[in-house]
Structures are given as structure tokens and as C-alpha cells.
Amino acid sequence: MSDYHLDVERRLTDAGKTLMMLPMPKDGLPAGNKAAWPDVLQLFWDLAGPAEEGSVQERQDALAQARNYIRLRASAAAIDRLDEVLGWLLLIDVPRHRKAVMARMMTHPVSELPVYKWTRIAYSLGTNRRTAKRWRDKGIQTILERVAWPGVKNNGHKGTDAL
């Protein structure tokens, strides 16, 4: 694999991580018009109540629950990079190659592990995992050929902006 291939893999993984950090509406549909007030920061005592209320164990449980709630937010620069990578995915003409690339790019933002393992991707595409990996590599190669990368065979396609 070339360095460019690894760069595209890294950018796809970064975009998948950013995509996982974006808030998803409860019903899965885009949000309508609403006010964009910032989140209110709560103190521990707002969550757990005054010291007189409840047992020590209940307050410790509330503190643990408050600490375990982490909301990751994507930066504006990361969202811009995500938009660029999503444009790259449209350059892949073969649907199964595009699906393999899209499924494998999804990365958990905290653990940085792929959300879908190769066996699950292969099952959803109706093939085995070695073929799914090959399809993903062919999809990345298509991106390399269609985007203006120096030193990569272009096959006569007009390139877009490089990294």
C-alpha cells in the first residue's frame, strides 16, 4: 500500500469518528427550527441534591452517573474535513465498494475501534470478509484515481482538490 492509500484510510477513519460524534435526533429525522441555546452546566449538587437528602451511597451513585456522562462534540474543522470526505465517497461508482468503504470508516470516537467488524460488513454485503476487504481497497483506489493525487494513475478523470 502506498502512503496515499494510508492517508485516505486515515482521513476516512477521522471522518467516521466525526460522524459518530454528531448528535442524532431521537426520531432519526432532521431537526426542525428551534432555539440554539447552549447546554446548561449542572453542578454535582444539582444532580445529587443537598447533603441531608438520601444516603451516602445514593449520592455516590449520582456522582458516578454524572461523571460517566460524556458528550463528545466535533469541531468545526473536523466537520469541514467530514464534508470533504463525504464528497469523495460519491466518486466511487460501484455500490458494493462504496458500502464497504462507508461501513469500515465508522469509528467509535472514544475507543477509536471500528464500529463494524469485517465479518459483519461481509455478511451485510453477502460475501466473505476477504472479498469485503478487497472491495474496500478498490473503493479507496477509486478515490485515489479520481482525486488529484500526485503520482497516482488518473485514468482521464478530472480531479478535485487534493489533501
- pLDDT averaged over every residue in the chain: 79
Write down the pLDDT at residue 135. Answer: 97
pLDDT tens digit string along 77-119? Answer: 999 999 999 999 999 999 999 999 999 999 988 888 999 999 9
pLDDT at residue 2, rounded to an integer: 76
Segment 47-51 mean pLDDT = 55
Q: Which of 141, 147, 139, 144 is nearest to 96 (CA)?
A: 139
Q: With the CA atoms of 76, 82, 87 and 88 taken in that order, what torsion angle do they form, in degrees rounded to the nearest 10?
A: 140
Q: What is the pTM of this model?
A: 0.67
Quote the number of domains for the chain. Answer: 1
Which residue range(s) make up the domain with 142?
3-22+75-146
